Chains A and B, each alone.
Chain A
Amino acid sequence: MNHTDLGPVDIALAPELITIEPGVLDRLHAGLAERASREGILDVAYRVVDTPVGKLLLASTERGLVRVAYEREGHEAVLASLAERLSPRILEAPARLGEAARQVEEYFSGRRHTFDLPIDLALSAGFRRTVLQHLSAIDFGRTESYAEVARAVGNPRAVRAVGTACATNPLPVVVPCHRVLRSDGSLGGYIGGLDAKTTLLRLEAAVA
């Protein structure tokens, strides 16, 4: 190559100056996430796992799992909203979510009926939070109606608000809002789409 006419463009494009070998940036990123986590400055760690209901985003704070998001929610949008609501110190850090990923995998393979993970309900407050806390008491393979949940949390007339709490559940799958149906047994809504809700209910019915 003839460099004698070297100018800015040649530098900006010179392969020997700009080429980065494959894998280098991934290794640097992993090292960064590891150190940031160790030094306590990684406020939100996340990873994406493959499941029968599509790619699930799992995000965790220092306190526990804070968000599970379906692909249809838009993972980029979910991360942007976590940056806004919790902290912008967010990195993909699969190691920090190793246990959560393992339990999700066990759940989908039918080997796990209850999640045993620290949960951070920071994204949910007030009545919605009360509803979410009750949902974890609905056992694997069982369902309740929106009206039953409303009664259980001491507010029998708040059926619609229970519906909203389920629809805005920041931790679907792990906090089992899919186990809440309409009183007539029809599905109602679901943050992951009705196909996903059906898949989860069938999985639990088959295993339980």
Chain B
Amino acid sequence: MKQPFEKLVELHGATVLRVCRAVVGRAEAEDVWQETFLAALRAYPDLPPDANTEAWLVTIAHRKSLDAMRSNGRRAVPVGDVPETPSPHGVPGSGDDGDGLWSSVARLPDKQRRVIAYRYLADLAFNDIAAIVGGTPAAARRAASDGLKSLRTRLAASQLEGESA
């Protein structure tokens, strides 16, 4: 039996917003959230009743976030070599004061940031995440652990800076 769509918004609205904020930044997160739920509502009658609705919503949010980045003429992930440079656009923390966890998450390469958001904010399994971002579950797991590692390094560094300042 399929639940009323209202139930999905109630159960997953907050999680999808957190994921959107982590992936495209606060400024654009609300637009991406709207586009996500609107597209989901449109497609909902065709979703199999036993589908994992949260993974499904994050999948749509993933696509909508890519659309949003494209339509703004930017790509968060350069093709080929991925240097760990911060993207100034559409990422969490840009515009925020100070450098808390947000700005550290913002400075992660796009794929690591997404995998971390999908894994730890949406609590999806690496199998689901691999289906969303492409590649193997093992690669998704690696991206998450690399992301965590560099978050740790950045936070340690910013704390040292803070102490010496």
Contact = CB atoms under 8 A, between A and B. Distances in A.
A53 interface: no
Interface stretch (B57-65, B70-78, B130-138, B150-158): B150-158
Contacts of A92: 6
Contacts of A3: 101, 104, 151-152, 155-156, 159
Contacts of A206: none
Interface in B79-99: none
A11 B105 CA distance: 10
A80 interface: yes
A12 B105 CA distance: 13
A96 B155 CA distance: 49
A39 B22 contact: no
A3 B162 CA distance: 13
B159 A32 contact: no
Interface residues on B, range: 35 or more
A79 B3 CA distance: 8
Interface in A1-50: 2-8, 11-12, 14, 16-18, 20, 24-25, 28-29, 31-32, 35-36, 39, 41-42, 44, 46
B95 to A, nearest CB: 14
A14 B151 CA distance: 13
Interface residues on A, range: 35 or more
Residue of A17, A41, A42 with highest tally of chain B CB at under 10 A? A17
Interface in B1-33: 1-7, 9, 13-14, 17-18, 21-22, 30, 33
B120 interface: yes
A52 to B, nearest CB: 26
B155 A31 contact: no
B13 A90 contact: no
Given A17-B18, A20-B18, A41 B41 contact: yes
A8 B41 contact: no
B116 interface: yes
B121 A91 contact: no
B105 to A, nearest CB: 7
Interface in B34-77: 34, 37-38, 41-42, 44-45
A116 B155 CA distance: 64
A12 B123 contact: yes
Contacts of B21: 17
Given A28-B13, A36-B38, A18 B4 contact: no
A6 B151 contact: yes
A3 B102 CA distance: 12
Interface of A: 2-8, 11-12, 14, 16-18, 20, 24-25, 28-29, 31-32, 35-36, 39, 41-42, 44, 46, 79-80, 82-84, 87-92
